[in-house]
Amino acid sequence: MPGKILCLFDVDGTLTKPRNDIDPKFDDFLQKKIKPLCTLGIVGGSDFKKIAEQMNGDDVIHRYSYVFSENGLVWFQNGKEAGRQNIQKHMGEDTLQTFINFVLRYLSEVSLPVKRGTFVEFRAGMLNISPIGRSCSQVERDAFEKYDKEHQVRAKMIKALEQKFPDIGFTYSIGGQISFDVFPKGWDKTYCLQLLEKEGFDEIHFFGDKTDMGGNDYEIFNDSRTIGHKVTSPEDTRKQLELLFNL
C-alpha cells in the first residue's frame, strides 16, 4: 500500500494554520496513523527554510518521503536534495529587473492601513509579492487579509501586471494571507507532478485549501494526475484523511 498511494499536502491552511507551525498532535497522527497506509509528501510555494519552520524542523525531509519547496523547484526525496531549478536562469536578469522595478513603483503608490518591509521576496522558482510587506506582525497579517477581501488589493495589482506585461510568460497565484506568487508558466504546483510521474504511484491524493480559480492550489487540484481534496483547515484535513482511510 505505501508504494502505491501518495498523499501530497499543501502546507498553509492545510497542514498548518497560515504561517503557523503544525500542531504536534496532528503531525503525530500523520506519522503514526497515515504513514503506514501511504507515502507522505509536501508541496509548498515557500522556500525550504519556511516550510521546515512550519513543519517543526529540518528533519521534515526524513519524516516525509517527498518535500517540494517552491512548488518543486527545490525538492527532496527520502532525506536528500534531489533537484533544483531557478528563475533568474530561466527569465534573465534584465527581464526580472524590469518587472521588479514596475512592482516597486506600483506599490509606492498604493495606500494601505499599514505598510512594513520585504515587499518582493526573491525565491529560486518565483517572486513572492506582498503589498503590506512580509515583515508584518501576525495581527497586521490578519488585518490585511480582511482588508484585501474587501478592497481586492492583490487582485487589482495582478490585473495591472497582466496588462503591463502581457507577453512576459508569468503566471500569478494568490495564496496565504498577504501575498501572491509570480512564476513562469507551468511552474505552479503541478511542476512537482512531472517529478513524481516516474515514481509509479497508482493514486496521488492532493490536499489543499486554495483550490478556487486564482488560488495557488487550483492547478494541481484540478490536474488529471491527482485526486483533489479541498480542505478548509488542518482539522478538516484530518477528518478527510480519516474518511479516506476508514480510520
pLDDT at residue 43, rounded to an integer = 98
How many Cα atoms within 13 Å fall on the side-chain side of residue 87? 28
In the DSSP assignment, the letter for residue 222 is H
- Domains, in order of start, for the chain: 5-85+187-244 (3.40.50.1000), 87-184 (3.30.1240.20)
C-alpha cell at 127: 517572486
Beta strand 203-208 pairing with 5-9: parallel
C-alpha cell at 14: 492545510
Mean pLDDT across 211-237: 95
42-78: per-residue pLDDT in tens?
999 888 999 999 999 999 999 999 999 989 989 999 9
Question: Is 185 strand, coil or helix?
Answer: coil
Give the residue numbers annotated as catalytic, written as ranges: 10, 12
Q: What does pTM read for this prediction?
A: 0.73
The mean predicted confidence, pLDDT, of the chain is 94
The rounded distance, in Å, linking the Cα atoms of 65 and 58 is 13
Mean pLDDT across 111-134: 93
Question: Is 123 strand, coil or helix?
Answer: coil
